[in-house]
Structure 1
Amino acid sequence: MTFTLAYALTGLFWLGAALLSLGLVRRAALWRQGRAAPVALGWLMTIPKRYFVDLHHVVARDPFIAKAHVAVAGGAVAVLALAALNYGLMLYLPALDALMLLAALLMLFGAVLVRSRRKAPPARLSKGAWNRLPKSLLAFAVGSALAALLALSGNAFGAAAQGLALLALAGLVLGGAELALGVGLGGPMKHAVAGLLHLAFHPRQDRFSGDKRSTDLKPINLVGKDYGVETPADFAWNRLLSFDACVQCGKCEAACPAYAAGQPLNPKKLIQDMVTGMAAGSGPAYAGNPHPGQAGKVRQGNPHQPIVGGLLDPETLWSCTTCRACVEECPMLIEHVDTVVSLRRHVTLTRGEVPGKGREALANLRDTDTVGGYPLAARYHWAIDLNVPVLLPGEHTDWLLMAGEGAFDMRYQRALRALVKVLKAAGLKVAVLGEVEPDCGDLARRLGDEATFQQLAGKMMNTLGRYRFNRIVTPDPHLFHCLKNEYPVLGGRYDVEHHSQVLADLLERGAVPLKADAAPLPATTYHDPCYLGRYNGETDAPRRVFKGIGIKVVEMERSGRKGRCCGWGGGASFTDIPGERRIPDMRMDDIRATGAEQVAVACPNCTAMLEGVVGPRPEVVELAELVAARLAN
């Protein structure tokens, strides 16, 4: 009986391997519909590190599911590897059977955990075929354990051996079919293969390069008539691959501010819409939460059919704030924001269909170099009595202060004045560009107008090239991000710091003269700007500032890189897609929940959005204002 079972396992292994290979070829044909992208087979060697370090760094945020995933995935991979060795190569070694039994028991433990998770699942989890997956895992684990046990036991089970062998084979067939057939048919287990390949051929290879945060949008070749993505086939092939890596866990859904506000965007559904388009209806039926307000809508697509207006309503596309909360939480490292911006680029550049005040803002940028259509000469009117020198060609300064678009807002001008007072009190040599400072192009790029962004970026780089300075300081995280991360690929490389970083350093060096007997400040919480925290990983500097001036921060539940967006980013405050609630109102609820009397901010856009919340609320105070209030007279 042992040898009969062994031969059956050998046949079953090679049958499964053949079906899996055919399924992979079928799925790969869907990915190959996309555009060409750089590829190196050597990247396959990076999978172990990226899997065990980068991927599990995100998965480990949920200890329960991390433990389950390590057990079930680790056990399954070990079982398959040992089966390939012992039965695929027909070695039939008892030692390998013993190891296979241990691996199967580990997988069984993980499968039980996964099954328990599905008994009372979070609302974000997709159902349908995903509810079947724990049962398939259990069947495969039990079948593998029984097969290994029978191989080791000899005739110990007597007459029961035949029945147990049939049970083992049934479990292996039922459970193995989930993987062997699921890849080709688009079932849940396609993520096991697509996910590993996605790690190797990730569209953002620099995401895995040391401490670099790959958050910059990549330019497109406008001269070569690259106008973004219209159809699924317009995505690069490795983008299509990344969509298949989605495990529909819904962590992006739970993190998305637009979804929470009831706007018509669910990032998980967005990715599955791309899968539907890529597979032309051959993908799995979606059984998760829809885009809010769109329940029951049936979408059809194919690789060569326009996405926006077909698979996606335009309002879904314009609801995104580009805050990257979805990307931050995705355990499969999928880049949702890249997908959104790629689609926006085509709509904006070829159709000009930007909703709300977005079209007006883009026209202002093209005509006046400012979002609001202001004269450039008015950008530094707030500093006229502060004796801040305007840098002239040929002159030199240590610090070049760039105020950005916030300089036109009367409320934020108070914060800018406070910043200048602190920098001067610390003895820094600071100058401004005055009326020659153009917009950096952040809004244009996020709204998909890559042509205007590249035009503004070129103008900014030409302007900065005429002046001599050591470093740039700005209180605007969007300007900071553009100069630091998005200009280098265009040829502009600058030493740029956010004002929170400069203030933190000055306070720690004792360079800022503070009052010795300053009155205690009220309870304060801090709102992390998305483009400072998630985009640039800078959550520490503002808190060092608070420490330097004696403020103990009352942290919100969603803070740091988990902070909730204010609702401004990605042009959302201009496109203004309606939902059930406003995102800044939800953020103010987070603030109120701390019991703090004031909320500190470090971004002109966050200041404007939170100041715009009506009704009783904590006072909104800019970081530099808090430091300026502590200056010695």
Structure 2
Amino acid sequence: MLETLLPILIFSALALAAIGAWRRVRLWRQGRPSAVPLLKGLAALPRRYLVDLHHVVGRDKVMSNTHVATAGGFVAAAVLMILVHGLGLGASEGPGGVLGWLLLAASATMFAGSLFVARRRRNPPARLSRGPWMRLPKSLMAFSLGVFLITLPTAGILPAGLSQGLGSWLLALVLTAVVVWGLAEMVVGMTWGGPMKHAFAGALHLAFHRRAERFGEGNRSTGLKALDLEDHDARLGVETPADFTWNQLLGFDACVQCGRCEAVCPAFAAGQPLNPKKLIQDMVVGMAGGSDANYAGSPYPGKPVGEHQGSPHGPIVAQKGQALVDAETLWSCTTCRACVEECPMMIEHVDAIVDMRRFLTLERGATPNKAPEVLDNLIATDNPGGFDPGARMHWAADLDLPLMADLQQVDVLLWLGDGAYDMRNQRTLRALVKVLRAAEVDFAVLGNEERDSGDVARRLGDEATFQSLARRNIATLAKYRFQQIVTCDPHSFHVLGNEYGDFYPQGQGGHYRVYHHSTFIAELYESGRLAFRPWKGGSVTYHDPCYLGRYNGEFEAPRKVLRALGIQVAEMERSGFRSRCCGGGGGAPITDIPGERRIPDMRMNDVEATGASLVAVGCPQCTAMLEGVVDAGAEVRDIAELVADALVAPPAVKATPPSRQPVLEEV
């Protein structure tokens, strides 16, 4: 009986899966076009899955091994099941017998993995979604155990008599029911919905990812995609789910609801109305149409599940009535990319949030709190504070800083950033100037020719103002010759190095060699141009800025500088790529969405847990946010300030200066 039923069941399941796949593809194709090399992406899929994806999954060794056993066992078992039981290639003698044994091994491996999944689901962490996911361990066991049992006679393990017993009606019906259960969840469910949907969508998402440059050892792709403002027929930003590109919709569908993004999101931890996992699931709801009533994970803080609904061509954020997402959810994001860094499916949450912000800002003019004032200031005065552009250099009146307009050509262009208007950051800038002069660096500043980099405008969704600032800054930079740009602002560092390239005139380069000051100071020290007296202060910890660390992968240089000073860093639990955001990015202090607690307060709690009396920073926004914590137990100082205080005369013979690569590299 089973010999007759199995091929029917297997190919019926495959047919239903194919129909479901086409249905799922049609949902994704509602999105806007996106140029993706399909064949190249499919060819790259194995490496992206086995290496890049597992690089993230492997941070949890137990779950990594579980995933290898369960997913690897399923893929092998599914293919072998089609060959052995679907096509009848499993004779107990000859090559078919080998296939039968391999199928037994694959299904047993999958069953072992499913036991670990069951143990994890017995008392799941709060970040894991429940609902249909709670039945997943049982479905995994049903598929693997059912396949194993029906393969025993095929592999020639059972005696002929017992094999005939397996053909009895009662036992055959029980095994058939188990196999149907497994096939329904594992094969049909991959395309029709349910927990296994992530397997089908996730594989294609890796193949057709909108940031293919992310894949490969050490690769990063963190610059926002530019809007084409010359296309007057195009909607600015994303208003409806169908306004996302088709591979963004595919990426949303790949979400495994593991909650890793939720666990590291600073806004969620602060009780602000944002949960990146819930946001992605809301986009899936909107893509298919319906409400979020069936969502079984953590809601947005303060917002119960069941209040949101949408459709592919309906507004994501409504001006009146119900919609998929409330505007304050989008404005809670600090754009720290902690969610993106942790996501095993490599979903781009921040891209989606900024795309939706762009519509609210450019089409509706609906930015909250102080954001409209800041954007107006950027348009009128080229700086977010609305200060007199001619006052940018007042802090340095006694420093006699050289100007690019006078020198025309230098080794280093010092980019001041809008910290030049802030009295606290002026101390950092003065310290950095002292360090550069101690190392006899040939540098100059743009002075009043410098404008805001545009970072805050872009993160607030005002792409038009950002592009205007970028093009004018590029025109200014193009007038002069220099080897590299150095800045103490990671946000300017990121924008200048990773986002200005899209706007440089065709055929005239567009990628700047930009240094964060910690990296440049580290190179100066290693080349023998700086020397320091030993550190005699207390315990020190270091806070990784999001736009230096997660965005640009620079974790080591600041620590090298601190070690050169004789400081042994007392690392926080959340450090490196898992550093907790200070709350100052993405325009968050400007939109100022209330929560249950403040993000910088939580970060200073992390500092205090180390027992450090001083926290070293490398970002003016981090400095401002952490120094704004009431009754903080640790002093906040920039790395440049620590270095300036420790300077002694360097050795008489200096080594070769740091990298003198041209700042403009041909595209």
TM-score, normalization: structure 1?
0.97
1:582 is the counterpart of 2:582: no
AA aligned to 1:623 is: I
**Shift of residue 89, structure 1, vs aligned partner:** 2.7
DSSP 3-state at the match of 1:181: helix
1:96 is the counterpart of 2:99: yes
CA contact (8 A) 1:341 1:447 kept: yes
CA contact (8 A) 2:291 2:306 kept: no
AA aligned to 2:303 is: Q
Matches of 1:559 and 1:595, distance apart in 2: 15
Q: 1:17 to 1:159 in 2, by over 3 A?
A: closer
Which of 312, 316, 320 is matched with 1:307 structurally? 316
The C-alpha deviation readout for 1:178-198, integer Å capped at 9, x for no partner, is 133324432111111000000
The answer for the alignment partner of 1:547 in structure 2 is: 563
Which of 69, 85, 91 is matched with 1:87 structurally? 85
1:269 is the counterpart of 2:285: no
Matches of 1:165 and 1:539, distance apart in 2: 60
Q: 1:568 to 1:534 in 2, by over 3 A?
A: same
User: Map of 1:408-447 to 2, 5 A cutoff?
Assistant: 408-447=421-460
Q: 1:345 to 1:520 in 2, by over 3 A?
A: same
**Shift of residue 114, structure 1, vs aligned partner:** 0.3
**Shift of residue 387, structure 1, vs aligned partner:** 2.6
The answer for the alignment partner of 1:508 in structure 2 is: 526
CA contact (8 A) 2:254 2:345 kept: yes
The answer for the alignment partner of 2:125 in structure 1 is: 122
Stretch of structure 1 that moved more, 77-86 or 230-239 = 77-86
The C-alpha deviation readout for 1:187-215, integer Å capped at 9, x for no partner, is 11111100000000111111125533100
Q: 1:282 to 1:156 in 2, by over 3 A?
A: farther
**Shift of residue 8, structure 1, vs aligned partner:** 2.3
The C-alpha deviation readout for 1:249-269, integer Å capped at 9, x for no partner, is 000000100000000000000
Matches of 2:532 and 2:72, distance apart in 1: 56
CA contact (8 A) 1:23 1:180 kept: no
The answer for the alignment partner of 2:21 in structure 1 is: 24
DSSP 3-state at the match of 1:529: coil
**Shift of residue 476, structure 1, vs aligned partner:** 0.3
Stretch of structure 1 that moved more, 296-305 or 105-114 = 296-305
Matches of 1:474 and 1:554, distance apart in 2: 26
1:144 is the counterpart of 2:147: yes
CA contact (8 A) 1:186 1:283 kept: no
The answer for the alignment partner of 1:292 in structure 2 is: 301
AA aligned to 1:9 is: L
**Shift of residue 385, structure 1, vs aligned partner:** 1.8
CA contact (8 A) 2:371 2:591 kept: yes
Q: 1:248 to 1:70 in 2, by over 3 A?
A: same
Stretch of structure 1 that moved more, 148-157 or 73-82 = 148-157
The answer for the alignment partner of 2:657 in structure 1 is: none
1:614 is the counterpart of 2:630: yes
The answer for the alignment partner of 1:218 in structure 2 is: 225
CA contact (8 A) 1:426 1:513 kept: no
The answer for the alignment partner of 1:371 in structure 2 is: 384
1:570 is the counterpart of 2:586: yes
Matches of 1:165 and 1:75, distance apart in 2: 24
Matches of 1:188 and 1:360, distance apart in 2: 45
Stretch of structure 1 that moved more, 23-32 or 530-539 = 23-32
CA contact (8 A) 1:147 1:165 kept: no
The answer for the alignment partner of 1:48 in structure 2 is: 46
User: Map of 1:89-238 to 2, 5 A cutoff?
Assistant: 89-92=87-90, 93-152=96-155, 153-157=158-162, 160-161=165-166, 162=168, 163-209=170-216, 211-225=218-232, 226=234, 227-238=236-247
User: Map of 1:408-487 to 2, 5 A cutoff?
Assistant: 408-487=421-500
Matches of 2:292 and 2:335, distance apart in 1: 27
Matches of 2:145 and 2:172, distance apart in 1: 11
DSSP 3-state at the match of 1:431: strand
The C-alpha deviation readout for 1:602-627, integer Å capped at 9, x for no partner, is 00000000010011420001000111
Stretch of structure 1 that moved more, 591-600 or 280-289 = 280-289
The C-alpha deviation readout for 1:472-527, integer Å capped at 9, x for no partner, is 00000000000110011222321111001001111122211323xx4522100000
**Shift of residue 283, structure 1, vs aligned partner:** 8.7
Q: 1:626 to 1:19 in 2, by over 3 A?
A: same
Stretch of structure 1 that moved more, 598-607 or 156-165 = 156-165
RMSD: 1.5
The C-alpha deviation readout for 1:145-169, integer Å capped at 9, x for no partner, is 1011132225252564235544332
Matches of 1:283 and 1:294, distance apart in 2: 12
Q: 1:460 to 1:354 in 2, by over 3 A?
A: same
Structure 1: runs of 5 or more not aligned: none
1:345 is the counterpart of 2:351: no
The answer for the alignment partner of 1:493 in structure 2 is: 511
Matches of 1:297 and 1:443, distance apart in 2: 33
Which of 239, 264, 284 is matched with 1:255 structurally? 264
Stretch of structure 1 that moved more, 371-380 or 193-202 = 371-380
**Shift of residue 341, structure 1, vs aligned partner:** 0.4
1:5 is the counterpart of 2:21: no
Which of 20, 30, 34 is matched with 1:33 structurally? 30
The C-alpha deviation readout for 1:33-89, integer Å capped at 9, x for no partner, is 111111323111111100000100000011111111110000000001111222333
The C-alpha deviation readout for 1:318-363, integer Å capped at 9, x for no partner, is 0000000000000000000001000000010011111011111100
Matches of 1:209 and 1:366, distance apart in 2: 39
Stretch of structure 1 that moved more, 35-44 or 330-339 = 35-44
CA contact (8 A) 1:143 1:167 kept: no
Q: 1:283 to 1:609 in 2, by over 3 A?
A: closer
AA aligned to 2:69 is: A
Aligned residues: 628
AA aligned to 1:103 is: A
Structure 2: runs of 5 or more not aligned: 91-95, 505-509, 650-667
CA contact (8 A) 1:404 1:479 kept: yes
**Shift of residue 537, structure 1, vs aligned partner:** 0.5
Matches of 1:48 and 1:240, distance apart in 2: 22
**Shift of residue 406, structure 1, vs aligned partner:** 1.1
AA aligned to 2:521 is: L
Matches of 2:406 and 2:10, distance apart in 1: 73
Matches of 1:414 and 1:529, distance apart in 2: 19
CA contact (8 A) 1:601 1:607 kept: yes
CA contact (8 A) 1:396 1:468 kept: yes
Matches of 1:171 and 1:207, distance apart in 2: 41
Stretch of structure 1 that moved more, 465-474 or 172-181 = 172-181
**Shift of residue 384, structure 1, vs aligned partner:** 2.1
Percent of residue pairs identical = 57
The answer for the alignment partner of 2:660 in structure 1 is: none
